[in-house]
């Protein structure tokens, strides 16, 4: 599994890959990484040194100014991900890198040292039919970059998106996984002006992004959370209807009072899949990207076909989506919601905050 998730253009792992801690040389300059050394939760994060990598021909080194964490990283850290097991330790997670280019390989022409950039963490083969015809996130060999919980990242240069002067690296680091995924889901459900979009679990990374981006599209939103205090913070970010609760029966009744929804952004799975179908209008669309509340869902098949409802799987987004989001931030259409930043040495505390469901929006590490 590990080779699949770390394949860089299907080449074997480069000796400079952030996940490898071998290859130390006596005079190599060290950088710090927040490595997962145990898959037992936040206590398994250790700050260790490793040599600064050299970029390969098509790679760039980025001095990381910020890296967002996602529930994906937490699952790895909790031992709840098929992609990393104890044989892979120490493991450097972190997908959402933004910073300043420090050095580039000899074949790199799209970025120069000193450029401010954000990474699209998609890793695609470049040769399959989906890479040729698009969209790229359908790539048959799709995987994700990991290595952002560090001071320096060694990345594919063609996955770097230049940042305009007015877009900071901290806000840019919030964008790739959460906002790119939510934006792609909104595109998949064809959300448009005046639509009503249901976002169960509206207070996390993908949830807040879904609410903010629905508002950017002119759509209205219904969001849920177990916490009234967290939902209160969302009303200033564009949430139109806030519902406190986690019981699907209670939520179904409360949403029915607002009206049938045109689309659902479902990152929770579990019982929220049938709930989403229940509140959808005829011919409505639900995109599903996650399984926080359960990896299996029981659904009512006659309701699906008699209601002409559409159930859509969706993973990440395209680099074009990320470029659009950077432009929208530059235009002032929205500001990524960042709950808190942590220094690299406190990466474990950031994962504890995610586990404890304390935050609204994104948690970032700023090495």
Ligand X SMILES: NC(=O)c1ccc[n+]([C@@H]2O[C@H](COP(=O)([O-])OP(=O)(O)OC[C@H]3O[C@@H](n4cnc5c(N)ncnc54)[C@H](OP(=O)(O)O)[C@@H]3O)[C@@H](O)[C@H]2O)c1
Indicate the residue among 104 and 265 with the shorter CB distance to ligand X: 265
The listed partner (Zn ion, ligand X, none) that binds 125, CB under 5 to 8 Å by sort, is Zn ion
**Which of these ranges, 1-9, 20-28, 78-86, 204-212, lies near ligand X under the rule CB under 6 A?**
204-212
User: Among 59-67, 110-118, 177-185, 253-261, which window interacts with ligand X (CB under 6 A)?
Assistant: 177-185
Binding to ligand X, residues 14-53 (CB under 6 A): none
Angle separating helix axes 248-258 and 272-279, nearest 10 degrees? 20
CB of 199 to ligand X, least distance (A): 9
Closest Cα partner for 98 from 82, 117, 83? 117
124 binds, among ligand X, Zn ion, none (CB under 5 to 8 A by kind): Zn ion
Interface contacts to Zn ion, rule CB under 5 A: 124-125, 128, 131, 139
Q: From the list 207, 248, 276, 348, which residue makes contact with ligand X (rule: CB under 6 A)? A: 207
Identify which of 329, 366, 338, 57 has the alpha carbon closest to the alpha carbon of residue 183.
329
State the alpha helices, DSSP H only, in the chain.
2-6, 71-77, 129-133, 169-173, 180-188, 205-216, 228-235, 248-258, 272-279, 301-306, 319-330, 347-355
Least distance from ligand X to the Cβ atom of residue 152, Å? 24
Nearer to Zn ion, 124 or 203 (CB): 124
Instruction: Tell the smallest beta-carbon distance from residue 131 to Zn ion (Å).
Output: 3
* DSSP per-residue codes, 155-176: EEGGGEEEPPTTS-HHHHHTII
Asked if residue 188 binds ligand X (CB under 6 A), the reply is no
| Cβ proximity to ligand X, 43 vs 247, nearer residue | 247
Closest approach, Cβ 58 to ligand X, in A, equals 24
Distance (Å, whole) CA 205 – CA 215: 16
Query: Of the candidates 188, 220, 230, 233, which one interacts with ligand X according to CB under 6 A?
Result: 230
Q: What is the Cα–Cα distance from 169 to 365, expressed in whole angstroms?
A: 12
> Residue with CB nearest ligand X?
204
Provide the mask over 302-341, with x wherever binding to ligand X is found by CB under 6 A and - wherever it is not. Answer: -------------xx-------------------------
Q: What is the largest CA-CA distance in the chain?
A: 68
Rule CB under 6 A: say whether 206 interacts with ligand X.
Answer: yes
Q: Which is nearer to ligand X, 95 or 108 (CB)?
A: 95
Least separation in angstroms between residue 306's CB and ligand X is 28
- Residue 277 interacts with ligand X (CB under 6 A)? no
In degrees, to the nearest 5, what angle opens at C-alpha 180 toward C-alphas 176 and 186?
Answer: 170
Told to check if 357 binds ligand X by CB under 6 A, we report yes
Q: Quick check: 364 and 174 in contact, CB under 8 A? A: yes
Q: How many CB atoms lie within 10 A of CB 194?
A: 9
- For ligand X, give the closer residue by CB, 163 or 178: 178
CA gap 125, 252 in Å, rounded: 42
> Which of 122, 203, 221, 297 contacts ligand X by CB under 6 A?
203
Residue 357 Rama label (left phi>0; alpha psi -120 to 50; beta): left
Other Cβ atoms within 10 Å of 282 Cβ, number: 9
- Which one, 192 or 295, has the nearer CB to ligand X? 295
Question: Environment class of residue 7 by beta-carbon count within 10 Å: exposed (0-12), middle (13-18) or buried (19+)?
Answer: middle
Which residues ranging from 278 to 297 are in contact with ligand X (CB under 6 A)? 289-293
Q: For 198, phi and psi rounded to 5 degrees?
A: -95, 125
Minimal distance in Å, beta carbon 260 to ligand X? 22
> Which of ligand X, Zn ion, none does 201 bind, CB closer than 5 to 8 A by kind?
ligand X
120 and 106 Cβ atoms separated by less than 8 Å: no
Interface with ligand X, residue 212, by CB under 6 A = no
Residues found near ligand X in the complex (CB under 6 A):
70-72, 177-178, 181, 201-207, 225-227, 230, 246, 267-268, 289-293, 315-316, 354, 357
């Amino acid at each position: 599994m590990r080779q699949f998730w770390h394949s860089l253009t299907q080449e074997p792992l480069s000796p400079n890959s952030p996940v490898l801690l071998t290859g130390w040389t006596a005079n190599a300059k060290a950088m710090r990484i927040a490595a997962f050394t145990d898959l037992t939760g936040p206590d398994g994060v250790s700050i260790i040194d490793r040599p600064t990598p050299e970029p390969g021909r098509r790679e760039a080194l980025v001095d990381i100014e910020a890296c967002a964490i996602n529930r994906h990283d937490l699952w790895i850290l909790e031992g709840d991900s098929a992609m990393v097991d104890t044989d892979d330790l120490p493991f450097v997670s972190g997908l959402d890198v933004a910073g300043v280019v420090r050095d580039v390989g000899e074949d790199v022409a799209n970025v120069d040292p000193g450029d401010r950039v954000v990474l699209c963490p998609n890793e695609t083969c470049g040769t399959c039919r989906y890479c040729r015809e698009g969209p790229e996130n359908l790539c048959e060999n799709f995987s994700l970059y990991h290595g952002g919980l560090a001071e320096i990242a060694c990345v594919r240069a063609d996955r770097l998106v230049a940042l305009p002067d007015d877009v900071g690296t901290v806000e840019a680091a919030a964008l790739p996984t959460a906002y790119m995924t939510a934006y792609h889901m909104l595109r998949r459900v064809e959300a448009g002006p005046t639509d009503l979009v249901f976002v169960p679990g509206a207070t996390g990374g993908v949830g807040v992004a879904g609410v903010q981006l629905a508002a950017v599209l002119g759509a209205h939103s219904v969001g849920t959370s177990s916490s009234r205090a967290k939902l209160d913070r969302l009303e200033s970010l564009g949430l139109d209807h806030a519902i406190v609760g986690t019981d699907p029966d209670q939520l179904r009744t409360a949403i029915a009072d607002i009206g049938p929804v045109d689309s659902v952004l479902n990152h929770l799975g579990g019982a929220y899949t049938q709930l989403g179908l229940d509140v959808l209008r005829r011919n409505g669309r639900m995109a599903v990207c996650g399984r926080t509340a359960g990896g299996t869902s029981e659904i009512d098949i006659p309701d699906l076909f008699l209601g002409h409802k559409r159930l859509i799987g969706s993973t990440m987004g395209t680099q074009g989506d990320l470029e659009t989001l950077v432009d929208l931030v530059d235009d002032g259409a929205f500001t990524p919601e960042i709950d808190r930043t942590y220094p690299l040495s406190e990466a474990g505390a950031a994962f504890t905050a995610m586990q404890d469901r304390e935050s609204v929006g994104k948690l970032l590490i700023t090495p």
